[in-house]
Amino acid sequence: MSEEQPVLVDVTDGVMTITLNRGKAKNAVNKAMAEGVAAAMDELDSNDDIRVAIITGADNTFCAGMDLKAFVTGEMPMLPGRGFAGFVEAPPKKPLIAAVEGFALAGGLEVMIACDLVVVADNAKFGIPEVKRGLAAAAGGLVRLPKQIPPRVAMEMALTGDFIDATKAADVGLVNRIVPAGSALEGAKELAATIVANGPLAVRLSKQVIAESGDWTAAEMWDKQNEIVMPVFTSEDAIEGATAFAEKRAPNWKGK
């Protein structure tokens, strides 16, 4: 794959596939890659024909994190308001699936945990080894990871910099599915197809509630949820879904 295109984007059957395309650098993120990912995320959320996205890496590896060679020259792979890799501080509104082969390390792990769902190869490795380079996992490893796995496990990963394997990742709830090596993208596409078959408005608002509800109090959670999801129940898609069920046919979603 060409190094001239740090990010490759394909859209097929309502699914966008974003490929981190710096295989010779283990798909390490530089500024150009961050800009390419940010542009893809903008297209994902603005194009009604795209329902789900997958982010993956070229050459049988996911992402080795920040491009350290670029870092020592003063280049930072962050964008204002978006953070590392062009999206970790501002994930898309639509579902995003990580398809992981090989290594998801440092910023690569932080890209992965910014996604909604994760499909990994059975030989994949995960870690936030920033401390081994005198750095800190400041793109989500220290603040997002402890909310996704047991805090003591996240603490050990952050302080030791050691890796975990796919089995351990599944045991602590870090990933959704483990598939044979070489088939992570295929597995992610199968998961994406299942999501695409569902009502797009219902999917998007369901993601929003889960993403935002972590700090809601018991007193406010029902009102906050209902404020977001009530439009689903008065939507054209809700009527279509019920009608299609009664008529024993596939729904024709409009996303409204």
Catalytic residues: 110, 130
User: For residue 152, what are its two tokens?
Assistant: 């003591």
Q: Spell out the alpha helix ranges (H) of 20-144.
A: 31-46, 68-71, 107-113
Q: CA–CA distance from 243 to each of 62, 162, 190, 199 (Å)? A: 42, 53, 26, 13
**How is residue 232 written in tokens?**
């689903």
Contact criterion met (CB below 8 Å) for 97 and 117: yes
Residue of 157, 74, 75, 80 lying closest to 113 (CA atoms)? 157
Question: How far, in whole angstroms, is CA 115 from its chain's centroid?
Answer: 2
CA 87 – CA 149 distance, rounded (Å): 21
Backbone angles phi, psi at 2, to 5 degrees: -75, 135
| CA separation, residue 213 to residues 34, 38, 117, 149 (Å) | 28, 25, 17, 17
CA nearest to 115, candidates 195, 48, 182? 195
Neighbour count for residue 169 (Cβ, 10 Å): 24
Contacts of residue 37, Cβ cutoff 8 Å, sequence gap at least 6: 7, 18, 20, 55, 85, 86, 87
User: What is the SS3 assignment for 154?
Assistant: helix
